[in-house]
Structure 1
């Protein structure tokens, strides 16, 4: 009896949607349980977190996703004892903020949306302000029966909380690196001085008190922005901002403002001031990160040949001279390699095929080399290798391995086999021998390479006094 093949079901498309509903439910429950009884939340990150999740996962940001977010928030309110009318109306205000922030940020290019540019950071502040306005306006229109304050006070309370929380939380989500990038960055050392100064400035803010004290951490935050990644700066601004908001709410800073406008409270003023406080550090972090990325790209272009991945001539010269200076009478070999009949390959098959040959040749050679050995493209089809720790007599075995690997390299173009071979010239110094300069080694290896080509190519020749056919 034939055995039927086992069929594995495809991963359910409902899983991400179910995860979104579960996340909404859990965040809303946590926010409800953390807020004071019969009061608005001191810190309500649910809307900002969900907006960030939808921006980072565009496939979830459809009509079904927004409906499930709304149902998750309503379910959490009902589970904690809220009546149907306020649960429906309040969460419609929250949904209005989420949709507004998502809509405005989703229209930006990805580079701006991930806060890689100052324009993206400024756009985020505008989107958070718009989201806070929408939520506050809906609260005044639909939820007024459940508030004892005036419409002005209700609007200011909703707007200040929504705007400040979104500005503090969203940058962290939008700049969060991928798991792979995070694991790489986690191994890099972090400067502690800016972080320690920030913590000290927060302590001074609380100890000194007064409205002006919320500006004390600004210098430390700017230092952090120049020192850390945008993600880490976002984490620090969230920590600093939330600490100051809690300190003001608990009257730890003796913060007071003139009540010239009805409904303006100390906490509202502090929230708006703290939200605007983090704008500068976030913009500086974006600019600093962009400059570091540009410098890294320029350094890479100056060090690595874009076509083959080998070192450039200038980078090779610097590193080879460093090896010679640190040689301490250890043996060293320099090889010059030249792809045989490369001009003929270009003429017969075109320069595009020639570029493919160069890339494949470089990859093959790099796979044969060991750590600490330098490989560079000097120009055209000419390459160089420095092998520290081996005199030319022993390094010829490495050269032979390279020659055979290139000779056995399978390469075809339009069904036609293209044979690639390499000629190699060796020069160097033995143990305890005086090391010549790099220019002398290059000249000797080049002469040996010339003999290898003159004697039939696809061979290895050593410079005097190590001349030997292989």
Structure 2
């Protein structure tokens, strides 16, 4: 099982319990103040949020952590004027839901728990239903002293509220990215059209009204599922679901919601229907996200050499040709240098030490070369032990210093096989075109660099040779 631990220093061991207590107290206090007087909460996110905290930070999932949450809930209830007996019992119902959510999901594989698979989405929905059943059943045990409704109405009230709220809130907690990942994605463009259509569908649901109006946002949510990440979709689902629940409760959608048992049942039905609307879009978002990740991996494999991290030959050809085409669009063509590099005596290294050592040498050489390059400069592995570098803006006749710097970076590598040091060097052939040559062909540049590399090998290796002719 993959977990995500939260690690604290010895000096701050009391900090996590205090944070957990404070978070629970604040959430409970806010939920109590927001609910109607003498009524169950219309929307109670406390249980789902705390279950998400336990799942994201497993070290807090202990008897002490659960006890602290219970004490914080009871304390908030008593401060708000509740009697101690209902405060003790009904917060025990809340804790029962939290523990059920947590225990059913804690042992899932990380990919399921983070809603990256359709199976994970279904398991989360099942856990939400189970937690709602536990909370509703515990509430009914002691319902008589505090509720005038029948046990059936009480059970339905608790179940529908707990299920709908947890389905809308818990996916946000499970899919929320880490802060560094959220910062990195802050600059990514967001498509506005699906969001605007979702908002329009919510307005239409309220304006049109009637029981069937709660299904109006489903098409927009499916579009959002294809356009956004599961976390973003979870936020939008919470917005849509909570808006519809409030609209139904306030009779803005022309539902008949009197205070009798049938009226309460109608509100339950609306809550459950709204919660179930989220299931389809979440599954679609999960599948869509998995497909995007697969395509990204395939594109990465087609672009990046898995061993060295350099561009593949085909990716290099595409990017180098695009660079040459862009160069010709300038009024005065920019100079460009192409270097071909070959690790000296690489076959002997493989024969003597084995291919595992050969792969290690390739990785270390590639890393040393990449450390010497800047943004916009191309670095690729052509095959075997042969690499190529393209440096825009540098004329070939001025590239001697750069080529020598690359050669020395490899020569200075400290590698040891067993107790035997490995002396690794490269030979480099340089070609290119200066600003007076507006036309450059990649194949011709590569051929000239290859000829220069051949001469470097013939003249003793571990040296740099310039091409003897310029490409025109």
Aligning the two structures, in what range does the TM-score lie when normalised by the shorter sequence?
over 0.9
The residue aligned with 2:309 is 309
How big is the shift at 1:269? 1.2
Cα drift, residue 16 of structure 1? 0.6
Structure 1 runs of 4+ off > 3 angstroms?
Answer: 256-264
Asked whether 1:164 is paired with 2:164, we answer: yes
Partner of residue 100, structure 2: 100
Q: Are 2:406 and 1:426 equivalent residues in the alignment?
A: no
How many angstroms does 1:301 deviate by? Answer: 0.8
Query: Within 5 Å, which residues of 2 pair with 1:336-355?
Result: 336-355=340-359
Aligned twin of 1:465: 469
Q: Partner of 1:144: helix, strand, or coil?
A: coil
Most deviating of 258-267 and 428-437: 258-267
Partner Cα separation in structure 2 for residue 143 and residue 70 of structure 1: 19
SS class of match (1:191): coil
1:434-453 to structure 2, matched below 5 A, reads: 434-453=438-457
For 1:317 and 1:423, locate their aligned partners in 2 and report how far apart those are by CA, in whole Å. Answer: 22
Partner of 2:371: 367
Q: Which residue number in structure 2 is paired with residue 404 of structure 1?
A: 408
State the partner residue of 1:266.
266
Counterpart of 2:315 in 1: which secondary structure?
helix
Counterpart contact for 2:257–2:267, Cα < 8 Å: no
CA–CA distance in structure 2, aligned partners of residues 134 and 457 of structure 1: 76
Distance in 2 of aligned mates of 1:148 and 1:422: 87
Q: How many residues align?
A: 459
* CA-to-aligned-CA distance 1:160-217 (integer Å, 9 cap, x gap): 0000000000011100000011011111010111111111111111011000111111
Correspondence 1:228-307 to 2 at 5 A: 228-256=228-256, 264-307=264-307
Residue 361 (structure 2) pairs with residue 357 (structure 1): yes
Instruction: Report the counterpart of residue 211 of structure 1 in structure 2.
Output: 211
Instruction: Give the TM-score of the pair, scaled to structure 2.
Output: 0.94
Superposition RMSD in Å: 1.8
Deviation at 1:331, TM superposition (A): 1.8
Shift of the alpha carbon at 1:346? 1.7
Q: Secondary structure at the match of 2:11?
A: coil
Q: 1:249-299: CA deviations, max 9, x gaps? A: 111100248999857532211100100011111111111111111111111
The equivalent of 1:5 in structure 2 is none
Q: Is the 8 A contact 1:424 1:449 kept in 2?
A: yes
Distance between the aligned counterparts of 1:334 and 1:172, measured in 2?
A: 50
Helix, strand or coil at the partner of 1:219: helix
CA contact (8 A) 2:433 2:470 kept: no
Residue equivalent to 2:334: 330
Q: Distance in 2 between matches of 1:219 and 1:40?
A: 31
Name the stretch that deviates more: 384-393 or 289-298.
384-393
Partner of 1:76: 76
Aligned residue for 1:428, secondary structure, equals strand
Does the aligned pair in 1 maintain the 2:372–2:406 contact within 8 Å?
yes
> Which residue matches 2:32?
32
* Distance in structure 1 (CA, Å) of the matches to 2:55 and 2:308: 37
Task: Classify the secondary structure of the residue corresponding to 2:10.
Answer: coil
Is 1:182–2:186 an aligned residue pair? no
Query: Does the 8 Å CA contact 2:143/2:151 hold for their aligned counterparts?
Result: no
Contact 2:251–2:257 (CA under 8 A) maintained in structure 1: no
Query: Partners of 1:370 and 1:401 in 2: how far apart?
Result: 13
Q: Deviations over 1:30-85 (max 9, x none)?
A: 11111111110000111111111111111111111111111111111111121221
Aligned residue for 2:12, secondary structure, equals: coil
Distance 2:150 2:344 in 1: 86
Q: TM-score, normalised by structure 1?
A: 0.95
Matched with 1:390 is 394
Q: For structure 1, which runs of at least 5 residues remain unmatched after alignment?
A: 1-8
Shifted more, 381-390 versus 349-358: the winner is 349-358
| Aligned twin of 1:11 | 11
> Residue in 1 aligned with 2:131?
131
Describe the superposition over 1:220-266 as per-residue Cα deviations: whole angstroms up to 9, x where unpaired: 11111111111110000000000000011111100248999857532
**Within 2, Cα distance between the matches of 1:353 and 1:98?**
53
Equivalent of 1:379 in 373, 380, 383: 383
Contact in 2 for aligned 1:156/1:263 (Cα 8 Å): no
SS state at 2:42 partner: coil
Aligned counterpart, 1:3: none
